[in-house]
Amino acid sequence: MTGFSGRVAIHEVLEISEEMRSVISNSEPIYKLQQAAKEIGCMSLRQDALKKAILGLMTIEEVERTTVPEYSLYTSASAQPPARLSAAQVLIAVHRTNLDSR
């Protein structure tokens, strides 16, 4: 045994598309990089952890402990980040949205 038995990994993979390459090479602000990543379907570590919490593979406490809160991906450089939402609040909102879409 290596000590990793029973653990669940969370992942964030960023595909470098032409748009992403342009944003990176032009040293655009971070919110522009986040926008471009969102547009190509990149899932953040927190989003992956929340998905796994919904599936029952990890707890909300683990999501809180292992990831940082995300602010709006479309926040401009001059805008203030919104109030911090706990992982539990986000999970509840995502779950309600999924139920409403059925």
Q: What is the pLDDT of residue 71?
A: 60
Per-residue confidence (pLDDT) for residue 73, from 0 to 100: 46
Residue 52 has a pLDDT of: 92
Q: Quote the pLDDT of residue 74.
A: 44
**Per-residue DSSP letters for 39-91?**
HTT---HHHHHHHHHHTTSS-HHHHHHHS-----TT--TTSPPPPPPPHHHHH
pTM above 0.75?
no
Residue 96: per-residue pLDDT? 58
- Over the chain (102 residues), the average pLDDT of each successive run of 10 is 74 86 87 83 88 90 85 49 57 58 49
Q: Is 5 exposed, middle or buried (0-12, 13-18, 19+ CB in 10 A)?
A: exposed
Q: Is 91 left (phi over 0), alpha (psi -120 to 50) or beta?
A: alpha
Q: Where are the domains of the chain?
A: 18-100
pLDDT in tens, 41-53: 888 888 899 899 9
| Type of residue at 38 | K
